[in-house]
Amino acid sequence: MEVLQFKYILASIVYSLLGVIILIVAFWLVDRITPENTWKEIVQNKNVALAIVVGAFIIAMGLIISSAIHG
């Protein structure tokens, strides 16, 4: 029963939320740096190429953040 201690569950939740917050901040920063409004370009203009690039960016940032948190 030592495996399911409250402190490990709480740490997992905190690190998950921290990773999501960092990912949102990173996406927001990239959206501010780029000359066009990324979300508008993807949704309204249906730019598939940009959607693929943004998806790849989110996957890459998620891998980097998870590796940094995991150690």
- Residue 46: which region, alpha, beta or left (left: phi > 0; alpha: psi -120 to 50)? left
CB 38 within 8 A of CB 50: yes
> Taking 70 as the threshold, does the pLDDT of residue 71 lie above it?
no
**Helix (H, G, I), strand (E, B), or coil: what is residue 32?**
helix
Residue 3's pLDDT band, with cuts at 50, 70 and 90, is low
Residue 54's pLDDT band, with cuts at 50, 70 and 90, is very high
Instruction: Find how far residue 35's CA is from the centre of its chain.
Output: 21
pLDDT reported for residue 2: 67
> Taking 60 as the threshold, does the pLDDT of residue 36 lie above it?
yes
Give the tokens for residue 47: 């730019």
